[in-house]
Chains A and B, each alone.
Chain A
Amino acid sequence: DQQVKQNSPSLSVQEGRISILNCDYTNSMFDYFLWYKKYPAEGPTFLISISSIKDKNEDGRFTVFLNKSAKHLSLHIVPSQPGDSAVYFCAASPNGGSQGNLIFGKGTKLSVKP
């Protein structure tokens, strides 16, 4: 039973355009969310996070939006660059990160074409 779902295994975007990666969760106890980027043969790199007290968090070209009522979050990358081509993982944790562990989605492979 997947608690964190990334329903699009892959996404292709033109350089300079917006990339939108989506993530849905089922556990209403989740209140801390993160996005990681992973290149082949490397470990995941932390990108950005958001807690449930906010609905938006921005860091440079990366913005994460959280819709608690829909149990949905998205990562926007604007503008997309070829170096953004990687697998993006969404992760969630309950109770403000005070217990348990991160639960990861299966990832979305983003390809940014020049």
Chain B
Amino acid sequence: KAGVTQTPRYLIKTRGQQVTLSCSPISGHRSVSWYQQTPGQGLQFLFEYFSETQRNKGNFPGRFSGRQFSNSRSEMNVSTLELGDSALYLCASSLFRAAETQYFGPGTRLLVL
């Protein structure tokens, strides 16, 4: 069974631009969560999608948004990029719930200049 895939793996943007990251969950998994990892901050939960609906949201500004498609694939969008948005963005999937065992993709490394 293929694991969680994320594209692109690396991205360089400038301040003020927007970016869209993509995630394909493990086949059969319906819950997709997004995390931001920065040095020394661990994994900070952004949001969770299930059945094309945002079910849970972390403490991030509205510039961070996402969506999920009928095939469970998910995208995350960050608008008006700031330098502090430079981070590793991780997508994780689980069968039904974000509180279950999650399986992570390799992440997208975003650098904002």
Contacts and interface: CB of A to CB of B under 8 A. Distances in A.
Contacts of A49: 101
B105 A43 contact: yes
Interface residues of A, number: 27
Given A89-B42, A101-B33, A101-B48, A95 B106 contact: no
Interface residues of B, number: 27
B42 A106 contact: yes
A41 B9 CA distance: 9
Interface string A73-110: 00000000000000001010111011111111111000
A103 B40 CA distance: 15
Contacts, number: 67
Contact of B99 (A44, A46, A93, A105): A93
Given A42-B106, A43-B104, A44-B104, A32 B99 contact: yes
Interface of B: 4, 6, 33, 35, 40-45, 48, 56, 58, 90, 92, 97-107, 109
Interface of A: 9, 32, 34, 36, 41-46, 49, 89, 91, 93-95, 97-107
